[in-house]
Amino acid sequence: MATIQETLAQVRGKYTYDQSKGPTEDQCAAICNETAWIHRNDPEKWGVNTKTNGSYGTLSDGSKIAVDIIQNGVTKEGFDCLYAAGWDPVTQKYGPAAPVWNSVGPITDPARPWKAPIDPGTTPPDPPDPPDPPDPPVTDAATKEQLAKHDADIKAALAEIGAKTSALVAGLAAINANLYKMEFDGTVKIWGQTIKFTLKPRISA
């Protein structure tokens, strides 16, 4: 009979890898469960590890388990069996879920008990490809003609605004130039003396 590590590699091989599709968390959980199921009668009483928060997968019976742990039912020692399993929120990609076999020691957390594997039945298929995007809407000739007219009207309006803006700028420049030429004559009496003066505005450019 194959070792549990050999079985793990064989079961993992049923699932293709795609960074955008998986194996998903549920598929990784199914890999752990099927491997443990095949070896459930080994002396180690292999099973899976219950997990209900963080990263977990859901089996066909609705139970939630760790996506990368197979657990010895006798010693409660857990083994990390899938490297980079499930969705990685940092890279925004699914990991390869590569078969490994590294002890993580006994799992004693009461919220993470050993769980007997369930009959996997048939291996679930890979998730279907996403549907193709819909074709762009068909635009009839009348709509195209109307859009072309609107486009021409917008271009004409923009040209008119540009011409009026240029005329306004030129007018303001003329006013500014004439201000420099303006003079103001006047007289003022100071201590009985009449003094004539001419004022020329000083305008900053």
Q: Does any domain span residue 95?
A: yes
Q: Does any domain span residue 34?
A: yes
Q: Using CA of residue 60, residue 62, residue 63, residue 66, what is the dihedral sign?
A: positive
Q: Does any domain span residue 56?
A: yes
pLDDT the model gives residue 183 = 66
pLDDT the model gives residue 139 = 61
- Outline where DSSP puts E strands in the chain: 47-50, 56-58, 64-71, 77-83, 87-88, 93-94, 98-106, 114-115, 184-190, 193-199
Supply the range of the domain harboring residue 87. Answer: 4-115
Q: What is the DSSP letter of 13?
A: T
- Please say if the pLDDT value at position 125 is more than 80: no
Report, in angstroms and rounded to the nearest whole number, the Rg of the chain calculated over CA atoms.
41
Cβ-in-10-Å burial (0-12, 13-18, 19+) of 132 comes to exposed
Q: What is the mean pLDDT of the chain?
A: 86
CB 185 within 8 A of CB 196: yes
Q: Does any domain span residue 88?
A: yes
- Please say if the pLDDT value at position 165 is more than 90: no
pLDDT the model gives residue 93 = 95
Q: Does any domain span residue 175?
A: no
pTM here is 0.60
Q: How many domains does the chain have?
A: 1
The fraction of the chain above a pLDDT of 70, given in percent, is 82
Instruction: Summarize the confidence of residues 169-173 as an average pLDDT.
Output: 77
Cα 61 to Cα 141: distance, rounded to the nearest angstrom = 57
Q: Does any domain span residue 164?
A: no
Q: Does any domain span residue 191?
A: no
CA-based nearest residue to 31, from 50, 46, 10: 10
- Over residues 11-59, the pLDDT tens digits come to 999 999 999 998 999 999 999 999 999 999 999 999 999 999 999 999 9
pLDDT the model gives residue 163 = 85
Q: Does any domain span residue 106?
A: yes
